Amino acid sequence: MKKLKIIVFSVTVLFGVGLKAQDLPISSSELPVLAVEFINKHFSSQTIQSAIKDLNHGGVVEFEVRTNKQVKIEFNQLGEWKEVESQNQEGLPIQFLPENIRQYLKDNYSKEKIEKVEKNARGYEIELMNDLELRFNLKGEFLYLED
């Protein structure tokens, strides 16, 4: 019985490895229209260094773009941004955030640079370069601070 469990476990692991996500390099022309519009509007001074189409085992398609200024942008299947991350010391622009979040950042953290922004079903998560994390709801209202 113990050998059978080990065999079943091994087969499950091997099968799971075979179903891992596939990262397929694509050209920027293969990105969804919304993704291209977002990049052109908010990162027009940057060029796309790489674009990846991520096919995971659940059938969900996502896209990842990296720019020449070390910014990583993740998009969902429709081309809506999910995550934007600066991998440099310049930080991120904030024009793509809702007005009330931009105002909150300006009023409370005007000297801090933004390292990462995530948008999900619960709201926005913003990481500053000083390691503080701010949480906002979908309406852009401040919820709480993590450090």
Cα→Cα distances 52→56, 61, 81, 133, Å: 12, 10, 14, 28
Q: What pLDDT was estimated at residue 8?
A: 42
Determine contact, residues 31/61, Cβ cutoff 8 Å: no
Residue matched to tokens 């990846």: 52
> Could you list the residue range(s) of the whole structural domain that residue 97 is in?
91-147
CA distance 95 to 29: 24
How confident is the model over 24-80, as pLDDT tens digits? 999 999 999 999 999 999 999 999 999 999 998 788 999 999 999 999 999 999 999
Range in 18-32, 94-108, 123-137 with the lowest mean pLDDT: 18-32
Same domain flag for 82 and 25: yes
Q: What average pLDDT is seen over the chain?
A: 89
Q: What pLDDT was estimated at residue 20?
A: 52
* Mean per-residue pLDDT, 76-101: 96
Half-sphere exposure of 60 (CA within 13 A, CB side): 6
Question: Residue 35: inside a domain, yes or no?
Answer: yes
Which of 66, 86, 106 is the C-terminal boundary of a domain? 86
- Number of structural domains in the chain: 2
Which of 86, 108, 134 is the C-terminal boundary of a domain? 86
137 versus 7: the higher-pLDDT residue is 137
Q: What is the dihedral of CA 84, 87, 88, 94, to 10 degrees?
A: 10
